[in-house]
């Protein structure tokens, strides 16, 4: 999962990327859900994505959070300047789920928030 320099002005964007070095299979079907977790464990910001074919070095659709929304709800999303992102993914044909949690500190000067 990656935070990418945004294509959306004044937004944080989160993606899942399949690395170039992944040689396991050329392409596969994947469903995923990207969520920003609140401190209480709920996911008030979430995006479901169905990728029929996921190739090497391909980015998923983004989960977008406006910087202003984050500023207004910092007490909901941030604990010690840490924003928690959850990525749940599963193969289209399977009910099995995998979860990845990623916690990245927001820069202490909060420059990312403008």
Distances (CA, A) of 63 to 12, 26, 53, 109: 8, 25, 19, 24
Tell me what pLDDT residue 111 has. 46
Quickly state the pLDDT bin for 93 (edges 50, 70, 90). Answer: low
Q: Is the distance from CB of 23 to CB of 67 less than 8 angstroms?
A: no
Q: State how far the Cα of 10 lies from the Cα of 38, in Å rounded to an integer.
A: 20
Task: Name the token pair of 21.
Answer: 């070095």
First-residue to last-residue Cα distance in the chain: 23
Residue 106: DSSP 8-state: P
Going from N- to C-terminal start, the domains of the chain cover 2-103
Q: What is the pTM of this model?
A: 0.67
Architecture of domain 2-103: Sandwich (2.60)
Residues 44-92: tens digit of each pLDDT: 988 888 866 666 667 777 788 888 888 888 888 887 778 888 888 777 6
């Amino acid at each position: 999962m990656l935070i990418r320099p945004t294509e959306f002005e004044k937004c944080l964007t989160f993606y899942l990327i399949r690395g170039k070095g992944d040689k396991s299979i050329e392409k596969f079907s994947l469903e995923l859900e990207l969520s920003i977790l609140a401190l209480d464990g709920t996911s008030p910001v979430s995006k479901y994505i169905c990728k029929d074919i996921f190739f090497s070095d391909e980015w998923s659709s983004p989960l977008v959070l406006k910087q202003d929304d984050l500023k207004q709800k910092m007490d909901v999303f941030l604990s010690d300047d840490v924003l928690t992102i959850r990525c749940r993914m599963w193969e289209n044909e399977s009910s099995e789920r995998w979860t990845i949690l990623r916690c990245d500190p927001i820069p202490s000067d909060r420059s990312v928030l403008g």
